[in-house]
A and B are shown apart, each in its own frame.
Chain A
Amino acid sequence: MKIISDISIEKVREMLEEVTDPEVPVLTINDLGIVRDITLDGDRVEVTITPTYSGCPALDMIAANIRMTLLSYGFADVKVSNAISPAWTTDWMSEKGKQKLKEFGIAPPNAKPQFCNTNYFTENEAVQCPHCDSWNTRRISEFGSTACKALYQCKDCQEPFDYFKCH
């Protein structure tokens, strides 16, 4: 049994690199930007996370994985709490995370969130194909395989792809 002592918050954050998003396994929870706070008290630690979407089904599993990971490093007690406010935004995703998404075949979120737009049939957001880098793409559906993604197709290489939509 390992014993935890003199651990820093930075070190805990490094341990959390082992916890990934079950729906997009190339992303760690640090990449996603959902770790809001870490507090240390001796061999006890509390991690506060925030959901990407209200109904994100992965959140409970992520919380369990955080517990398992930190307990395996020797923490005596791990508490995971959930903070809904301020609401998560794709702006909190790391640049490294965006790069990993692209390599995985998912177009990373654009920098400027457009969720606030309530106009109907507005121009599709320009999204770059993660396969051939073409900007000549079209949106097939605003809703994709998970809540955080939209479905696109590249008009040059014809490949369909997921877009991690702005939020």
Chain B
Amino acid sequence: MHNTNLEPAILTEYLLHLADDALILGHRNSEWCGHGPVLEQDIALTNIALDLIGQGRNFYQYAASTANQSGLRILQTVEEKEINEDSLAYLRDTREFRNCLLVEQTNGDWAKTIMRQFLFSSFQYLLYSKLQESRDSVIAGISAKALKEVTYHMRWSGEWVIRLGDGTEESRHRIMQAITELWTYTGELFAPTDYEKSAADAGIGANLPSLKTEWDKRVAEVFHEAILPHPGGTGEGGLTADPWMQSGGKSGLHSEHLGFILTELQFMQRAYPACEW
């Protein structure tokens, strides 16, 4: 064990949350493969997908080892088998996934995909910055590695937000629509679940509310540059000062979209159990 002050069940749930966020957003981005507006941007999104799925794999591998070491039963759907990264990704049902609602939202148009990436990467950048100092050395190592990748994702998506906001009437309209659709899922990023609180208290996870101010600042800077109204404000085009925030994904209560994602993601393992390439 790499730490002693967090129950294996809680540590595993926390790891699954980190892994699921990365896998589900990676899967969403991979849906763009072959459909990007131009080849370079198609490749960019596929690269980002690959990074995220790789980060997910690293967390799943660690989650599998903590679960196996402690004899934890986290899969309702499989029994008597040693858990591994594949069974965690391919054999859990929607209620067992711990990703936030934001990452499972549909791709929509280019603007919505960009906005989803920007809002999440800005959060993930701050999260991994903290987690690279985690008292759990494995989490620290995975996060330090991933931080370099996420920095690219944040910069790429932020530049696109600016381009679209400060672009044509059409692009501006679309990126504003994307903010309207997605903003309601940003509150959950900073509202800790019980397992996130325990992980933070143990010095293993990050204190989420403490990341909010910096995230607000970074998002506001880009929106300002993009001449976009900040949703927190009440000015023209802005939402209400205190918009309603959706939550539940991190506790397993998902929007209907996750079921569709898993249907595609898990098809091979469901149709041909234990198949390998």
Contact surface of A with B, Cβ cutoff 8 Å: 51, 53-57, 84-88, 115-121, 140-147, 151, 167
Q: Which of B137, B144, B155 has most chain A Cβ within 10 Å?
A: B155
Contact residues in A for B54 (Cβ distance below 8 Å): 51, 53-56
Tally of B interface residues using CB under 8 Å:
35
What DSSP secondary structure best describes chain B's contact surface?
A: helix
**Which of B40, B137, B146 lies in contact with A151, CB distance below 8 A?**
B40
Give CA–CA (A120, B276) in the complex, Å.
Answer: 42
**Residue of A with least CB distance to B163:** A121
**How many pairs of residues, A versus B, come closer than 8 Å at their CB atoms?**
88
Give CA–CA (A133, B27) in the complex, Å.
Answer: 39
Residue B113 interfacial (CB < 8 Å): no
Contact residues in A for B142 (Cβ distance below 8 Å): 54, 84-85
**Which of B58, B158, B159, B222 lies in contact with A54, CB distance below 8 A?**
B58
Contact residues in B for A146 (Cβ distance below 8 Å): 47
CB-based contact B50/A55 at 8 Å:
yes
Name the distance in Å between B122's Cβ and chain A's nearest Cβ. 10
Name the distance in Å between B246's Cβ and chain A's nearest Cβ. 28
Name the distance in Å between B276's Cβ and chain A's nearest Cβ. 13
Contact residues in A for B101 (Cβ distance below 8 Å): none
Residue B156 interfacial (CB < 8 Å): yes
The 8 closest A-B pairs by CB, nearest first: A55-B54, A85-B141, A54-B54, A143-B44, A141-B40, A55-B50, A143-B47, A87-B145
**Which of B53, B125, B162 lies in contact with A118, CB distance below 8 A?**
B125
Given contacts A116-B151, A147-B51, A141 and B41 within 8 Å (CB-CB): yes
CB-based contact B222/A120 at 8 Å:
yes
CB-based contact A143/B162 at 8 Å:
no
Give CA–CA (A116, B43) in the complex, Å.
Answer: 22
CB-based contact A55/B40 at 8 Å:
no
Residue B152 interfacial (CB < 8 Å): yes
Given contacts A141-B41, A145-B43, 17 further A-B contacts (CB under 8 A): A51-B54, A54-B51, A54-B146, A55-B57, A84-B58, A85-B137, A85-B144, A86-B144, A87-B145, A117-B155, A118-B154, A121-B159, A141-B40, A143-B40, A143-B47, A146-B47, A167-B148
